[in-house]
Amino acid sequence: MLTPIAYGLAIVLVVLVLFIGLRFLLAPQASATGYGVPAKENGDSAYLTIKGLRDFTYGVLGAVLLAFASAHAVGWYMLVVAILPLGDTLIVLRHGGSKAVAFGVHFATAVAVLISAALMFAV
């Protein structure tokens, strides 16, 4: 019973990270606003592209681990990847973004990823 829940949550999280990465690559300005810190219209879009590539790459890595590695390896991946949404929480707060986005999106994501890690270690 625990195995389908553990893998199901991990798959959902990986798909969401892939989506976020693609969104930052295809619609960077709108994605930055949704992230919680809007980008300047004439700012350096390279940083938005970097974020998109980073997130997409983490999503691909997660998908590969889910397909070819053990639950224990996926658990370690999730544990390490939880650093990203925790960092995103701090970035949004530090740069004047909404507390609702910081905690309701980024911190909540970190909690979900940590739950996923715990479930994968328990399988």
Q: pLDDT for 81-95, tens place per residue? A: 999 999 999 999 999
Reply yes or no on whether the pLDDT at 15 is more than 90: yes
Q: What mean pLDDT, rounded, does the chain reach?
A: 95
> By three-state DSSP, how is residue 4 classified?
helix
Total domains, the chain: 1
| Residue 44: pLDDT band with limits 50, 70, 90 | confident
Rounded Cα distance, 25 and 52, in Å: 5
Q: For residue 12, what pLDDT is reported?
A: 98
Helix H or strand E encompassing 119: helix 108-122
Domain that residue 87 falls in = 2-122
Residue 5 has pLDDT above 90, yes or no: yes
